[in-house]
Amino acid sequence: MNFSRINECFQTITDEDVLEAMREIPGYLDITPSDFIEVYRIAFDHAVNRIKTAILAEHVMTRTVVSVLEDAPLLETAVQMRDHDISGMPVLNEQGAVTGVISEKDFLSRMTEKKDPSFMQVLIQCMDDSCCLARSLKTLKVRDIMSSPPVTVHKSFKLLDVANLMDRRKINRVPVCEDHNILVGIIARSDLVQAMC
Amino acid sequence: MIPYFKKMAGGGQRPPKVNLSEVFWSWLGAFLGITPVAYLNYNLLSGNDFVYIIGSFGASAVLVYGAVRSPLAQPRNLIGGHLLSAFVGVACWQLFHPFPWFAAAFSVATAIALMHVTQTLHPPGGATALIAVIGSEKIHELGFWYMLVPVGIGVGIMLIVALAINNMASRRKYPEFWF
């Protein structure tokens, strides 16, 4: 998620827009259109920053989270991800605390030895090999391939910090927890986009 | 050097023209504001003194009747700008009158600086400071009374007329702020 690009989208105000606005306001305005645009852009940046820091993780998170237990079989987990049309989910222990995150990437990682696995990488390897690469996963549990320790955020995190974290760690979703890492929601990149628009 | 000269090309857009109703209210305000001020000063001052002081109030009229939304036209600026500048002008004359050319430059520059610091910038204030220096002996003899007559009374009249006339127009409002 690139906030600066979103900001640029909002900053497409033109000289003509300003002149039109100045015509609609009665009286002589003692300011040039370029001065107005400069003031507008700086004020806009302040407003965006205020909004970014005012919105908390708990305001934008999805509260009904599809999750899986650590000792769930991978086959069952894959079926769950397919049925819910999701590409990843938090992994919980018996107490409901987040202990990891499992995603398509974790499955792919186990199916190829290459670094930075991708679907295409696995497909190529599949076409080269005669056996199915997924077969080796059938007997494994979630805890065997999940990414751990998980990247999570507290529900009181500012949205800007959440976005920066996801950008820095190159992740598409982040579980939202309250104290003791208890899961209360999840934020996906799409949630960030909606919150900013 | 090229960026330096490029700045001189301008390149920005001028603000749009105001409509005829705006022109009418500006004209009426300026006429009704300057009439009493000119009449009063015509009877108080003579020769260049009258020309100078009415020039300063004429410049104020552009702001308080022609650009009523401008921060420079607000009562704080109109009153504060003129009175502080009058004070600076008189003080400069009394301190530096053996060197009138220096007193003139110093008074205008100091008036601008003081108006900036006190957030009372009002361009005609520069003229008010200058008049205290370049005016006749009659002006100089007024001493700090110059702040009251002709400056204070003139400013007061112009402010009262600005409040009365500008708020008659349905799409005008004056002032934007007082202090």
CA distances in angstroms from A168 to A3, A89, A102, B96, B131, listed in the order given = 13, 19, 19, 66, 65
Residues 68-107 of B with CB under 8 A from A: 68-73
Q: Do the beta carbons of residue B18 and residue A28 sit within 8 Å?
A: yes
Measure the CA angle with vertex A173, ends A117 and A189; round to 5°. Answer: 105
Q: Give yes or no for B116 touching A (CB within 8 A).
A: no
Q: Which residue of B has its CA nearest to A34?
A: B12
Q: Give yes or no for A37 touching B (CB within 8 A).
A: no
Instruction: For domain A58-196, give the fold.
Output: CBS-domain (3.10.580)
Q: Give yes or no for A14 touching B (CB within 8 A).
A: no
What's the confidence (pLDDT) of residue A1? 43
Domain boundaries defined on chain A: 15-54, 58-196
**Cβ <8 Å between B16 and A32:** no
CB under 8 A, 24+ apart: contacts of A84-87: A87/A172
Q: Give yes or no for A115 touching B (CB within 8 A).
A: no
CB atoms within 10 A of CB B160: 12
Percentage of chain A lying above the pLDDT 70 cut: 90
Nearest to B68 among A23, A27, A34 (CB): A27
Of the listed ranges A8-12, A157-161, B160-164, the one predicted with least confidence: A8-12
The H or E element spanning position B3 is: helix B2-7
pLDDT digits (tens, 9 = 90+) for A16-25: 888 898 888 8
Q: Which two tokens stand for residue A12?
A: 């497409």
For the cut 70, the answer to whether the pLDDT of residue A46 exceeds it is yes
**Nearest-10 Cα torsion for B45, B50, B52, B57:** 100
pLDDT digits (tens, 9 = 90+) for A145-158: 999 999 999 999 99
Q: What is the mean pLDDT of chain A?
A: 84
- DSSP for A66-94 reads --EETTSBHHHHHHHHHHTT-SEEEEE-T
The interface predicted TM-score of the complex, written ipTM, equals 0.78
